[in-house]
Homo-oligomer: A and B are copies of this chain.
Amino acid sequence: MTDFSEWFHNILEEAEIIDDRYPVKGMNVWQPQGFKIRKYTLEILRNILDKTHEEVLFPMLIPEDELAKEAIHVKGFEEEVYWITHGGLTELNKKLALRPTSETAMYPMFSLWVRSHTDLPMRFYQIVNTFRYETKHTRPLIRVREITTFKEAHTVHATEEECEEEVQNAVKIYKQFFDMLGIPYMISKRPQWDKFPGAKYTVAFDTILPDGKALQIGTVHNLDQTFAKTFDITYETEEGDHKYVYQTCYGISDRVIASIIGIHGDEKGLCLPPAVAPYQVVIVPIIFKKGAEEVLEFCRNIEAKLKSAGLRVHFDDRDIRAGKKFYEHEMRGVPLRMEIGPRDIENKNAVVFRRDKLEKDTISIESDDFIDEIKSTLSNITHDMREKAWGSFNKHLRDAETVEEAAREIEKNMGIVTFHWCGNEACGKELEEKVRVDILGVRESKSETYKMPLTEITKEEIDLLQEEGAAARECINCGKPSTCRTMIAKTY
C-alpha cells in the first residue's frame, strides 16, 4: 500500500462501505455492504457484553443544565457540542445538546435507580450515535462529526476496589473483542492531560494503521466518585449508611470498523475476518457451454449444504466472466471462494481460494465432510489473519534510549516507540514538542494492573514498583527517576 489514505478512501467507495458524499461535513452514509460488516461486528460485541451487562437506550438530547453540572466534564466537551435552540418555529426555553457521550444523560437516572448495596454492581451499555463538532480534518470512520456507532458501557460499584476490578474486566472484554477481529493493540494508561474529562484515569487501546500512525480504538475510564458526587448517586450500605458509588465507563466506536478494513486489507482490497464478512463463502461456477445446467445445479446443492451448516454463503450465478467475479469478491474481502466446474464435479473436488493468503487448494466434496473442512479453513483464516496482523504490528514497535533515538525511530519507521519517562506533565509536553508526537501513555505492565497514576512518581511508588520487579530508570528527557515505559506515536 503506497498511500494508505488514498487506499482507504478508495476502498470505502469501491467496496460500498461508506458513501462520504452526504452534504454535511464529517457525516457519512453506511451502505448495505458496510452496514453488514458493522452489524456482524456489533453482534460479536453484544454477545460478549450480554453475559454481564444489560443493554439500554437513553435519549439523545441532554438539557443544558444537566450537561453543565459536571464542570470538568463540560469543559472537556464545550467546544464540540452541537446545540439545539429551536423546536419548530419556537425558541426553546432550555437549550438541548446532542450527546457527545452519555454520562450526563444517564447519571441523573442512575441517581434514581441505585438504592441499595443489593442493587450493585450495575452494568449497562448502549450502542448509539453521538456527535462532536470536530474542527480537525474529518475522515470516514476515523474522525467524524456523527459517530454512528458508539458503544458505551457504564457501570456502578459499591467500592473503589470493585471499580478498579471493573477497569480490568473492561480491558479483558476489549482484548477478547479485538482478538476475535484480529486487530492488534497496545494498552496504556493515558497521561493525565489526555484522560477523559471527569475521569480519575483512562486506559486506552491503540492499534497501528498501515501508514504507521496510531489509532485509538477503545478507552476505559475509571470515574471514581466524580460523577456520583455531581449527580448524587448514593446507595444504602448493609449498615444503613448512605455512600457515594464508584463508576467506570468504557467505549468503542466506528474506528473498530476502520481498523478491520485498514489492518487486514491489501492491494486487492478488503480482506475480512470470517466473523464479520457479509458472505463467508462465495461459490463461483466455472461454466462451459456443455453441462452448464449440471454445474449450476451442483453448486446450488453445495450452497444449500453450507447454508444449513450456518454459514453465510453466496452463490454467484450471474452471467458474467468468472474472472470478473473473482476480482469483485476479492475486492470485497470474501474470505473463501469455491470454484466448481465440470471437471471438479467429475473428480468430486472443488477448488478453494483463500482471500487472506491468495492461495488455491483442492478439497474433496465426495462426502459431506467438506463442510467441516470449510469451517476449519475459515477458522484457520481467522487465526492466520490475526497472526499476520500482529506480525506487522510488532514490527512497528521499538524501544529508544534517548530523545534523539526516539525522534529518529518515529521519523524513519513511524509506529510506536517506547522509552522511560518520568511522568511529569511539563517534561512530557516538552517531549511531545521535541519529537512531534503524542504520548500515548504508560504501557501496560506485565501484571496487567494500572495502579500507577501517570503523574510524577513519588518515592513510595518507586519502592512499590521495585518490589514488583520493575527497575527504576531515568527519564530520557529530564533524567529524573522513571519506572514506567511510556509509548509515543504519531496519532490519528
Interface residues of A (CB under 8 A from B): 19, 21-24, 27-32, 35-36, 38-39, 54-63, 66, 78-90, 96, 98, 105, 108-109, 112-113, 124, 129, 131, 133, 135, 146, 148
- A84 vs B131: C-alpha distance when bound (angstroms): 12
Chain B residues lying within 8 Å of A57, measured Cβ to Cβ, are: 29-30, 35, 38, 148
Chain B residues lying within 8 Å of A54, measured Cβ to Cβ, are: 32, 35
* Docked-complex contact A88 and B81, CB < 8 angstroms: yes
Chain B residues lying within 8 Å of A81, measured Cβ to Cβ, are: 87-88
Chain B residues lying within 8 Å of A108, measured Cβ to Cβ, are: 22-23
Other 6 A-B pairs with CB < 8 A, given A24-B61, A24-B63, A35-B56? A32-B54, A81-B88, A82-B86, A82-B87, A83-B86, A129-B129
- A61 vs B145: C-alpha distance when bound (angstroms): 10
Query: How far does the Cβ of A480 sit from chain B's closest Cβ, in whole Å?
Result: 38
Chain B residue at minimal CB-CB distance from A46: B39
* One of B30, B89, B112, B131 near A79 (C-beta < 8 A): B89
A78-B88 contact given A24-B59, A63-B23, CB 8 Å threshold: yes
Chain B residue at minimal CB-CB distance from A134: B87
Q: Sort A-B residue pairs by CB-CB distance and give the 7 closest, nearest first.
A: A87-B133, A32-B54, A27-B59, A30-B57, A79-B88, A83-B86, A85-B85
Chain B residue at minimal CB-CB distance from A81: B88
Which of A57, A85, A96, A129: most chain B CB closer than 10 A? Answer: A57
* Docked-complex contact B109 and A61, CB < 8 angstroms: no
A-B contact pairs, 29 of them (CB 8 A): A22-B58, A22-B105, A22-B108, A22-B109, A23-B63, A23-B66, A24-B59, A27-B59, A29-B56, A29-B57, A29-B109, A30-B57, A30-B58, A32-B55, A38-B57, A57-B148, A61-B146, A80-B87, A80-B88, A81-B87, A81-B88, A82-B87, A82-B96, A84-B98, A85-B85, A88-B133, A88-B135, A90-B133, A129-B129
